[in-house]
Structure formats: structure tokens, C-alpha cells
Amino acid sequence: MSEHKQTILAIGGHVGDMELTAGGVLASHSLKGDRIVTLALTAGERGVPEGREVGEYRRQKVREAEEFAELLGGEAIVFDVPDGELRNDEDMRLRVCDVIRRVRPNVIITHFKSSMHKDHNTTHLIVNDARYYAGLKPLERERPAHFASRLYYAENWEDAVDYKPYLYVDFDQEAYDLWVKAASRHWFVTGSKSFPYLEYYKHLVRVRGIEARKAYAETFMIPPETMRVLKSEL
């Protein structure tokens, strides 16, 4: 494989969030030789199947994150923060800042705001500040400053309030198949009785693909301050 052209860091509130919502694009970039890193701020272990122990399920979730990343030739990081107890505090912002400085991504993908799930909204706030901290040279940490120039917010059924697709990124059948294979490593994706995750997102990428006149696509929002279309003439 050729030298990595880009590094993409996808940051979710739980293991599986970014794998589902941005996984097709991550798979596509992986096949093009780009480096893929996922960071889950919690494992999401309190979605434990009935009859299972929370600690055991957390270990399973970490393995699932690692298996997804391995299939994409990438890396998975899972913070040891209890599911549902994520806090937007200085310690967490700096922890994410340190990951950004170590990974040195060109692109960061994370949650959109206004979520029905508080861990998603908290992650959105943490990542926005951590990205700023990571690029701040006077802020001395173990590693030198690094600014990720592109920030995208993934489309998630739990983050739908005020979400409007801004950017469509298409991918082909090979990437789609790799994404489905990798995402299916997550128990909740195929086994949850509360929501048909895999079915929903498989249909969503097809619908977004049709809208883009492509086979498959995932959509993203961007920070409001970057919503500019520049032209010299109409």
C-alpha cells in the first residue's frame, strides 16, 4: 500500500457511532490508502444486552471497535469513561486534544449538535474545543500543536434536530461491502431489538446516494462559520 495521503480521525460518544454514520466514507478512504483512526469517548457499555454483565459487554465493545479498525487497516482508541457519564470539562478537552496532536489528522468527523442523546451533544462540544486546543501552539503539551483543517459532523438519526445535509460524499460498491462487513462486527448493529441500525443506515446511504446521483453516499454538516461558497462569477 502506498504512503498515507490523508489521516481521518472519527470521534464518537460511543463505540459504533462513527462506524455507522461515517463508516462508508471511512471504508472508501481506507481503500484509497488513507489512514483511519476511530476514537470513542465511552464504550457505550450501558446498552448491554439483557442478561449480560456491563463490564463484560464493555470489553466486547472495545474488541468490536478494534475489529472494525483492523478491517480498515486503521486504529481504534476507546477512553475508559463510563457510558452516560461523559463530561465536557477541561480534563476531557485536553485528553481529546492530546489524541489529535498524536494522530495529526487532516480531517475530524464527529457528532452534530442538538442531539436527543446527551453523550453525542457533549462529544460535539468537547471536540470543537479540543480541535482548537490542539492547534494552539502556546498550549504546551507532550506533543507539538496540530490543527485539523477540516471538521465534519456526521448524519445520525439521534442527532437529527436542525441537521441539514450540506456535503455529500459518495463511495462505491467495494467500500459499501467493506463497511457493512466491518460495521456488522458490532453486536448492537445487527442484534439490537430497540432499533434496526444496520437496516436503517444501509437504506440511508442508498437514499443519499440517489440524491447525489451516485450508488451510495453519506452526508455531513460543517461548522456554520465555514459555510461559504466562493466564486469569481456566477
Residue type, 206: R
Does residue 19 contact residue 182 with C-beta atoms inside 8 Å? Answer: yes
Alpha-carbon span 164 to 123, nearest angstrom = 19
Does residue 5 contact residue 32 with C-beta atoms inside 8 Å? Answer: yes
Q: Which CATH architecture has domain 7-224?
A: 3-Layer(aba) Sandwich (3.40)
| pLDDT less than 50: residues of the chain | 1-2
CA 46, 62, 194, 164 torsion: positive or negative?
positive
For 135-152, the pLDDT digits (tens) are 999 999 999 999 999 999
For 192-218, the pLDDT digits (tens) are 999 999 999 999 999 999 999 999 999
